[in-house]
Each structure stands twice: as C-alpha cells, then as structure tokens.
C-alpha cells in the first residue's frame, strides 16, 4: 500500500501544499522557530558538557526537533504530553525553565525529580509533561488511559504519546493502539521514525513499507508525515487533536525523520552505519527549511536569529552555572520519600539505619 | 448485618465506592455484562453503565497500562486481572511504571489504583489458575499488597485500598471466595491497611498466615485443641503483606517464643523467608525454637496432586509439634 507523505513545504522551504499551511501569526511562527533553535543549541552544549565530564549522560534530538516542537505547537498546555527521552523540547516550548531542566540533568538538590532518575528523564507537572521512563513505549498505554479518562469526564483534553520506530516492536504499542481504537479515545500516538533504534535499523523493526499503515489493524487513521517539516507536523497533530476533541477517536502518526547523532552520549554510530547517511539528511534539516519559509514570508530577518542565538547562549551558560552552584545531592531522606504517599515503618527504619551509618563513617564520595 | 461471602463483600465494596466517588471505574476482562468470571462485579454494569464498568480487550498489559493513565489524570481505576496467573503480561507496567510513578516524578505524578486479582489453589485449577505470586509484588518498592481471608475484612480493606493514595495489589483467596462467610456490616467502613488481626488467641505457638491459609490454620488449631498433647495456637492473619504489621507479630512472638509460618506459595524466597528473617533480627533471644515454614513446594502448582502440594492441618501440626518439642 502507498501512503502520501504529508508535507507543507519542500526542502527549500517553499509552500507546496497551501491548503495545509497552518494559519499562525508571525509571533507564533517565531516562537516555533525559536524553540527549534533553542533545543538544537541546548543539545550541542549538553553533548559538549558530557564530553568534558561535567554531565553523566545525555540524549540529543538533533535533526528531529520538528517532530515534537510541531506537536507542542499544535496542542494546548492542558493536553497531556507523554514523551520518550528525546522530546524535552516540547516541555521547553511549554515553558519548562532551562535552569530547572539543567538541575534535572545534574540530579542535584533542585532537581524536580530529586535525583532519582538519569539525565533527560524530566517531569513537569504544571505543564502536563509526564515523567519519562527509559524502557521503550511503556508510556503509550498511559496516554491512551489519560485520553480515555478525559473522554469519560467529558473534558476535551487530548493526550499525545511519542516513541521511536523501535517502540513499534513492543507488544504494548500494539495493545495501546488496540485499546485506543476499541474505546475511541482522543489519543495521538506518534511514532518518531528516526531510522535507528540504537544500532538496529528500521528495516529490522518491520517489513511493512510504513509504520503508519499499522493503524489499519486497529481501526485508526494512520498518517505518514514529513517529520522534518514543522508545518506539516503542526498541521497533522492539530488535525488529530481536532478529531479527538470531536469524539472521533485516536490517530496513529508516523513522523518520518532521521537521528543524525548517536542514540545517546554512550554510543558511537560510526561503528554501525554509513557516515553518508546522516550527511544526506542534513540537506533536509528542519530548521533550515523553516527558516527559509519564514524568510520568504518576510517574518524573519537574520539579525533576529543572531540576537536569539546570543541570548540562548547566555541563557544556557547561566543555567549551567546555576546548576553547578546548587548542592550536588538532594537531602538523604528524599531517597526514602515518595516510594509511598507516606513513609512506612520499614522505610523509616532503613532511613535511620543509613543515617546512622553515614554519621559513623562519613559521607559517601562520588556523584 | 447481612451474611455474605467474600465475592458478595467485594461486590458490596465496589458498589459503595462507585456510588460515593464518581472517579471510580472498574475495568477488566468479562467484568461488564457477565459480572466477572467469579461474579465479583455483578450488577455494576447495570447500575453504573459501560463507561464505569468496562469490558476490555483480552490484554492485561493494556488493562493496567491504561488504568495508570486514567489514575494520572485523576480517576480511581480498579482493574481486575481475572486470575493472578495471568498478571505477568502486565508485570512490566506494574513494576516499572505503576509502582514507580510517584517516586520517579519526584512526587508529581502519583498513580493510585487497585488491582484486584484472585489467587491461590485448591480449586482444581492447575498451574494456570492456582498461583500465589504475592512475593513477586511485595518485593517491588512502591506497591502495597493486601489479602483478606474473610468477607468482613475483604469489604473494609477494599474500601481502604481504593481510598489509599498508593497503588495496591489486592489479592482475593479464591478457594474461600464462597466458603468464607460472615456477618458483614452494612454501608461504609474501612479496615486500615497495615494492621494484622489475631484471629485466635493462644500462648504456645504463633502461626502467621494470610488468605485461604488462615482457614487451614484455624482448622489445625481446632484439631490441636482436641489432641492428647493439646497445643494452644495463636493465629495471626496478616491481612496486609506490605507494609506488614511487625508490631503485632513481635508482640505475639515475645509471648509464645515459637513461630510457624504458613503460605501456599513456593518456599524459596517466599514471604515466609522475609518474616522469619525479620523475627530473628528482632526477637532472637525470645525464640525457643527455630522458625519453621509450612508452604507450597518449589514446583509449579500441580493439578492432580494439588492437595498434596497445599499445606493442610496435619502438615501445620507436624511443624507445631517440632517447634514445641524442640
């Protein structure tokens, strides 16, 4: 079967489907471009920080930014965002403070998740950006359940779940699509097909020509979209959200993009893939394409972007300095809190046991 | 007070809470029109409709996974897993997601919900309708594990579990689903999670048990009281396995100095091991004998030989004789 790839602009930023072009104000457009550039610059700095040994681990989204920034721009903050570990840009778009973001990466005393998770596992309650897990695709049923709950409560919120192409190989992806279809819930299930699951290519995750076509088996619309065209992402996710809010159920979206960098700071793609492949995708860079579009439209001048870049650089530097100035560890007791709503007797005892041990032997080194 | 069995008590609790709290939804396989394979959700579909008593596809991971998403959004889901033996497809969702939501989000995203599931053997169910997997959940930080042995506790503990702010694995001893009867108070009441109950007072040996085994222990105690060399057994129904009532256990152990732990689940790494370790850490000098365990064997649960597998009154009394005569 053949599915059209939904696009709005071509690789040169020229509008090829005006009927799909999102009707955004100039300010709204600039907010989207700013968010794309900001997460690109954050990623670059964080990888450098990791290489300098100042940060334990990082996952970047270079080349794939338009997928989740586009989704965030198409949704309301009251819509729940269930991300994998590569979509923190959506939280930043919604207003997640960069200093807080940085404290999470450091797992320090001001980390909102209290030093309990590796870097990039953010959680931003007031922005409906749900706590990130490392295992793949486990968040999809949660998005379906949240969308279902919204429907049962007659609210018009939708929930979106992001995951990679590897995520479609998990049983829970299929089960989630099944539930979303059977109960017609306002969920938006987005496969960010970036071609690679660490070292395993997309061709090993499926033999079907697209991931979007898997929707047919669950009675969902399946949409294939150019994930490097932020306008196409906004258009597609906005349509899926409108369907959900109208009571017409869930949508499966395959956002076709490419993971230009490594899976994480812990791997080396030169071992398993041809170096020409990422270079080829650089010609379809989502920021370049969108910048050209906005420039054609007269909504952007070079000096604006130069000013942004300067400001973002300063902002990142400030956030790093801030995070490095915060005490590196959360208080000891936080290890025992939030396991349950109240600390039960056995954890209370274990806390005092550890406290006594540290009192006798001194603080543990290492961070 | 109406006499009820455990199924009726569970049903009563669900109905009371669904009437009281519009956030409560029941979901699972066959829970709707059919009222559940054990009939525990009978009448809920008729009273509350298909949006609050939901027949789901046959996929445990989906039942638990979507219930988590509902709980995060503010509902109070009570998913049913038809038999605990079928819970493993949902194990990842329970262990890595449900149990960790509050912790990993720094307290931002708690997911309070109650998974109801029938456990235990003695019903001619073979390996796939008889397991007692409580230890697999007790070992997971973030979960509470509750198992009543009678209808009064079943109702009060289920109401407490649904109102609890943490996820609860609520295990129902299916062998005594209908056999355990009692006068159940009408209307709303709760029994606190974490409190054991002395179901028979005695001075000679402390017997620790839960679920259907409480009844087997009571049978053993009756038998022991008519034997020549009478044994005076104190039986504690733990009711909550995590967090368990360490004070009630230690108070009894300090009185009797002898302990037998009884459970259906396999012995190795069963919850009895944790109890025995805890008791010897805290009451070694009060013990008059080694702590003994009477348990299922370390085999899959057998079909034809299930009564050889399950602890019975005589096996319990043999252990009692050993700790008394040590």
Q: What is the 3-state secondary structure (H, E, C) of chain A?
A: CCCCEECCECCCCCECCHHHCCCCCHHHHHHHHHHHHHHHHHHHHHHHHHHCCCCCCCCCCCCCHHHHHHHHHHCCCCCEEECCCCCHHHHHHHCCCHHHHHHHHHCCCCCCCCCCCCCCCCCEHHHCEECCCCCCCCCHHHHHHHHHHHHHCCCCCCEEEEEEHHHHHCHHHHHHHHHHHHCCCCEEEEEEECCEECCEEHHHHCCCCCCHHHHHHHCCCEEEEECCCHHHHHHHHHHHHHHHHCCCCCEEEEEECCCCCCCCCCCCHHHCCCCHHHHHHHCCCHHHHHHHHHHHHCCCCHHHHHHHHHHHHHHHHHHHHHHHHCCCCCCHHHHCCCCCCCCCHHHHHHHHHHHHHHHHHCCCCCC
E strands present in chain B: 3-5, 24-28, 53-55, 76-80, 114-119, 144-146, 168-173, 181-183, 197-200, 205-209, 233-237, 240-242, 259-266, 292-296
Is the pLDDT at A366 greater than 70? The verdict is no
**Candidates A134, A145, A250, partner chain B, best to mutate (most B CBs within 10 A):** A145
Instruction: Work out the angle at residue B64's Cα, subtended by the Cα atoms of residues A85 and B209, and round it to the nearest 5 degrees.
Output: 120
Assign B256 a pLDDT band (cuts: 50, 70, 90).
very high
Instruction: Identify the CA nearest to A129 among candidates A60, A75, A83, A167.
Output: A83
- A121, A125, A339: residue with CB nearest B108: A125
- How close does chain A come to B189, measured CA to CA in Å? 22
- CA B167/CA B157 separation, integer angstroms: 13
Report the distance separating Cα A191 and Cα A161, nearest Å: 8
Give dist(CA B191, CA A342) in Å, integer.
18
**CATH fold of B3-183, please?**
Rossmann fold (3.40.50)
- Measured in whole angstroms, the distance separating CA B273 from the mean position of its chain's CA atoms is 17
Q: Which helix (H) or strand (E) holds B180?
A: none
**pLDDT tens track for B284-297:** 999 999 999 999 99
CATH 3.40.50.970 in chain B, residue ranges: 3-183
Superfamily assignment of A5-327 in CATH? Answer: Thiamin diphosphate (ThDP)-binding fold, Pyr/PP domains (3.40.50.970)
Query: Cα–Cα distance between A284 and A76 in angstroms, integer?
Result: 28
| Closest listed residue to residue A153, CA positions, set B52, B192, B156, B255 | B52
pLDDT digits (tens, 9 = 90+) for A188-233: 999 999 999 999 999 999 999 999 999 999 999 999 999 999 999 9
Closest to A31 measured CA to CA, from A242, A189, A234? A234
What six digits make up the tokens of A19?
A: 């009927």
Spatial separation of the C-alpha atoms in residues B296 and B303, rounded to whole Å: 13
List pLDDT tens digits, range A283-304. Answer: 999 999 999 999 999 999 999 9
| Residue pair B293/B270 in contact by the 8 Å Cβ criterion | yes
Catalytic residue among B129, B215, B263, B307: B129
Using a 10 angstrom Cβ sphere, with 0-12 exposed, 13-18 middle and 19 or more buried, the burial of residue B262 is: buried
Mean pLDDT confidence for B241-267: 98
Residue of B92, B101, B194 lying closest to A131 (CB–CB): B101
Span B98-153, pLDDT tens digits: 999 999 999 999 999 999 999 999 999 999 999 999 999 999 999 999 999 999 99
Distance CA B84, CA B131 (A): 7
Distance, CA of B214 to CA of B220 (rounded, Å)? 10
- At residue B313, the pLDDT reads 97
pLDDT value for B226:
84
Task: Quote the Cα angle for A22-A288-A168, to 5°.
Answer: 70
- B193 to chain A: nearest residue by CA? A344
Q: Decide if B75 and A346 are in contact by the 8 Å CB cutoff.
A: no
Looking at the DSSP assignment, which residues form a beta bridge with residue B237? B197, B209
Residues of B in contact with A345 (CB under 8 A): 243, 246
Q: Average of pLDDT values for A244-248?
A: 98
Q: Six-digit token pair at A17? A: 């489907």
Contact between chains at A179 and B142 (C-beta distance less than 8 A)? no
Residue B227 has pLDDT above 90, yes or no: no
Which positions ≥6 away from A202 have C-beta within 8 Å? A165, A193, A195, A196
In chain B the first and final C-alpha atoms are separated, in Å, by 45
| B174's tokens | 């299916």
Options A48, A51, A246, A272, the catalytic residue = A272
Chain A residues inside the 8 Å CB shell of B70: 145-146, 148-149, 152
Q: What's the rounded Cα separation, in Å, for the pair B147 and B126?
A: 21
In chain B, list all ranges with CATH 3.40.50.920.
Answer: 197-324
- Which residue of chain B is at minimal alpha-carbon distance from A344? B243
The whole-angstrom separation of Cα A284 and Cα A287 is: 9
Please compute the mean of the pLDDT values over residues B167-189 and round it to a whole number: 98
First to last CA, chain A: 52
Distance separating alpha carbons of residues B27 and B154, to the nearest angstrom: 19
By C-alpha distance, the chain A residue nearest B53 is A152
* A240-260 mean pLDDT: 98
Whether residue B157 has pLDDT greater than 90:
yes
d(CA A92, CA A73): 11
Alpha carbons B14 and B26: distance in angstroms, whole number: 8
Rounded-to-integer distance, Cα A33 and Cα A296, Å:
14
For tokens 């490097």, what's the residue?
A: A228
A263 is catalytic: yes
User: Tens of pLDDT along B210-220?
Assistant: 999 999 999 99
d(CA B124, CA B113): 31
Residue of B nearest to A337 (CA): B103
Which residues in chain B have Cβ-Cβ distances shorter than 8 Å to A183?
54
Q: Can you tell me whether residue B213 is helix, strand or coil?
A: helix
Which residue, A207, A180, A181, A205, is CA-closest to A195? A205
> If you search the block for the tokens 């006499």, which residue do you land on?
B3
**Which chain B positions have a beta carbon within 8 Å of A144's beta carbon?**
65-66, 69
Provide the mean pLDDT of chain B.
Answer: 97
Please tell me the distance in Å from A31's CA to the nearest CA on chain B: 28
> Percentage of chain B surpassing pLDDT 70?
100
Confirm whether B129 is a catalytic residue: yes
Per-residue pLDDT, A362: 87
A273: which residues sit within 8 A by CB, 6+ positions away?
A: A196, A199, A201
Cα B176 from Cα B149, distance rounded (Å) = 8
Rounded distance, CA A324 to CA A106, Å? 8
Specify whether the CB–CB gap between B16 and B46 falls below 8 A. no
Best probe of the B interface among A82, A111, A175, by most B CBs < 10 A, is A175
* Alpha-carbon gap: B220 to the closest alpha carbon of chain A (Å): 31
Q: Which of residues 92-111 of A touch B (CB under 8 A)?
A: 111
Minimal C-alpha gap between B69 and chain A (Å): 4
HSE value, Cβ hemisphere, 13 Å, CA-based, for B76: 19
ipTM, 2 decimals?
0.97
CATH architecture of B197-324: 3-Layer(aba) Sandwich (3.40)
Could you list the beta-strand ranges (E) of B33-167: 53-55, 76-80, 114-119, 144-146
Q: What is the chain B residue with the closest CA to A177? A: B62
DSSP letter at B300? P
pLDDT at A367 over 60: no
Residues A239 and A225: beta-carbon distance below 8 Å? no
Establish if A214 touches chain B: CB-CB under 8 angstroms.
no
Instruction: State the DSSP code for B33.
Output: T
Give the nearest partner residue to B106 out of A123, A178, A345, using CB atoms.
Answer: A123
Q: What is the pLDDT of residue A5?
A: 98
User: In 10 A of CB A136, how many CB atoms?
Assistant: 19
> What are the structural domain ranges in chain A?
5-327, 331-367
pLDDT at B230: 86
Q: For B78-96, what is the mean pLDDT?
A: 98
User: What's the rounded Cα separation, in Å, for the pair B127 and A165?
Assistant: 37
Cβ contacts (< 8 Å) between B166 and chain A: which residues?
340-341
Cα–Cα dist B253/B280, whole Å: 10
Residue A1, pLDDT > 90, answer no
All residues of chain A having their beta carbon less than 8 Å from the beta carbon of residue B145 are none
Instruction: Pick the residue from chain B with its C-alpha nearest to A176.
Output: B62
Q: Cβ(B36)–Cβ(B67) under 8 Å? A: no
Tell me how close the Cα of A276 comes to any Cα of chain B, in angstroms: 38
Average pLDDT, chain A: 97
């Amino acid at each position: 079967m053949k599915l059209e790839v939904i696009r709005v602009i071509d690789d040169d930023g020229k509008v090829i489907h005006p009927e799909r072009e999102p009707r955004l104000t100039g300010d709204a457009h600039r907010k989207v471009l700013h968010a794309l550039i900001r997460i690109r610059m954050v990623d670059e700095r964080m990888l450098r920080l990791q290489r300098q040994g100042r940060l334990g681990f990082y996952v970047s989204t270079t080349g794939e930014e338009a997928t989740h920034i586009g989704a965030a721009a198409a949704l309301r903050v009251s819509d729940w965002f269930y991300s994998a570990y590569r979509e923190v840009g959506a939280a930043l778009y919604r207003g997640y403070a960069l200093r807080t973001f940085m404290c999470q990466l450091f797992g320090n005393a001001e980390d909102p998740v209290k030093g309990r998770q590796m870097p990039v596992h953010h959680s931003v309650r007031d922005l409906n950006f749900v706590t990130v897990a490392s295992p793949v695709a486990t968040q999809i049923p949660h998005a379906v359940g949240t969308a279902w709950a919204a429907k049962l409560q007659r609210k018009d919120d939708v929930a979106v779940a992001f995951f990679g192409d590897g995520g479609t190989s998990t049983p829970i992806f299929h089960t989630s699509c099944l539930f979303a279809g059977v109960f017609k819930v306002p969920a938006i299930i987005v496969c960010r097909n970036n071609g690679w699951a660490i070292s395993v290519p997309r061709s090993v995750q499926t033999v079907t020509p697209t991931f979007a076509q898997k929707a047919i088996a669950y009675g969902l619309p399946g949409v294939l979209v150019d994930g490097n065209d932020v306008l196409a992402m906004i258009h597609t996710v906005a349509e899926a959200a409108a369907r959900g809010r109208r009571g017409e159920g869930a949508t499966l979206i395959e956002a076709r993009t490419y993971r230009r960098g490594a899976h994480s700071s812990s791997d080396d793609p030169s071992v398993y893939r041809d170096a020409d492949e990422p270079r080829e995708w650089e010609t379809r860079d989502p920021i370049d394409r969108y910048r050209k579009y906005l420039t054609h439209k007269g909504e952007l001048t070079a000096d604006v972007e130069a000013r942004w870049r300067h400001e973002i650089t300063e902002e990142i530097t400030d956030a790093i300095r801030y995070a490095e100035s915060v005490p590196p560890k959360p208080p000891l007791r936080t290890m025992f809190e939030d396991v349950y709503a109240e600390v039960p007797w056995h954890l209370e005892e274990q806390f005092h046991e550890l406290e006594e041990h540290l009192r006798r032997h001194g603080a543990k080194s290492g961070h | 007070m109406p006499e009820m069995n455990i199924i009726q008590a569970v049903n009563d609790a669900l109905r009371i809470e669904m009437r009281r709290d519009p956030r409560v939804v029941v979901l699972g396989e066959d829970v709707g029109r059919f009222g559940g394979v054990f009939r525990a959700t009978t009448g809920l579909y008729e009273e509350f409709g298909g949006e609050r008593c939901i027949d789901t596809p046959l996929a445990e991971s989906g039942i638990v996974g979507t219930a988590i998403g509902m709980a995060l959004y503010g509902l109070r889901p009570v998913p049913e897993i038809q038999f605990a033996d079928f819970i493993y497809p949902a194990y990842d969702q329970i262990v890595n997601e449900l149990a960790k939501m509050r912790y990993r989000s720094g307290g931002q995203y708690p997911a309070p919900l109650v998974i109801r599931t029938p456990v235990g053997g003695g019903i001619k169910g073979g390996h796939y309708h008889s397991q007692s997997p409580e230890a697999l959940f007790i070992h997971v930080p973030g979960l509470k594990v509750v198992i009543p042995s009678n209808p009064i506790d079943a109702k009060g503990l289920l109401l407490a579990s649904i109102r609890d702010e943490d996820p609860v694995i609520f295990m129902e001893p299916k062998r005594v689903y209908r056999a355990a009867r009692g006068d159940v108070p009408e209307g709303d009441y709760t029994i606190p999670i974490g409190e054991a109950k002395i179901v028979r007072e005695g001075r000679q040996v402390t017997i620790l048990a839960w679920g259907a085994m409480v009844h087997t222990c009571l049978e053993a105690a009756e038998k022991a009281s008519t034997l020549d060399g009478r044994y005076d057994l104190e039986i504690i129904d733990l009711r909550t396995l995590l967090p368990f009532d360490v004070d009630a256990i230690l108070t009894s152990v300090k009185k009797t100095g002898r302990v037998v732990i009884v459970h259906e689940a396999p012995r190795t790494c069963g919850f009895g091991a944790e109890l025995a370790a805890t008791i010897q850490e805290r009451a070694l000098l009060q013990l008059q004998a080694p702590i003994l365990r009477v348990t299922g064997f370390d085999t899959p649960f057998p079909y034809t030989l299930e009564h050889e597998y399950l602890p019975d009154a005589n096996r319990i009394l043999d252990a009692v004789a050993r700790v008394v005569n040590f």
